[in-house]
Amino acid sequence: MQIKKTVWALVVAAVVGTGTWVAWDTGQAPVPESTFVLLDGSQRTSADLRGKVTLVNFWATSCTTCVAEMPSLVATHQKYQGQGFDTLAIAMSYDPPQYVLNFAQSRQLPFKVALDHTGAVAKAWGDVRLTPTTYLVNKRGEIVKSYVGTPDFANLHQLIEKLLAET
């Protein structure tokens, strides 16, 4: 167990230290049971992710990498939204709700934004602590790829197109 923690610590240090990203295939793990509270107060659940390819992005307004990647997330959402693609941005529990609301409104984010008030959603999704952390979910509600840091958007788009083509 200690070796596993040490390896993980080295990966985290490498990612944070170089400003790069790490991606890994998850072997199509089922999406964790979660309830998402959106900025408008409505709720969605993990079950609502089924039927579309969905990008789930954990982020914070205080995360410079998150803020820098947001225009690419918006462009990705706009490129594929008419083809059965959706985006869900989940603000971390430490992010003040008013900051998140202001960010979403001032940048006219075209996708759903949720507040993880208690940290329960981040915990359920693998105890997310680093932002940005992004998951790509297929139409069956399975996580097929995970990213820590900004994804390579060209590769991400190829994978989204492949998943959108699946029946």
Question: Domains of the chain (ranges plus CATH)?
Answer: 21-165 (3.40.30.10)
- Quick one: pLDDT at residue 167? 80
Residue with tokens 């297929």: 138
- Quick one: pLDDT at residue 29? 87
How many angstroms separate the Cα of 48 from the Cα of each of 1, 15, 149, 150? 35, 32, 25, 25
pLDDT in tens, 118-165: 999 999 999 999 999 999 999 999 999 999 999 999 999 999 999 999
Q: Which residues on neighbouring strands pair with residue 43, listed in sequence order?
A: 37
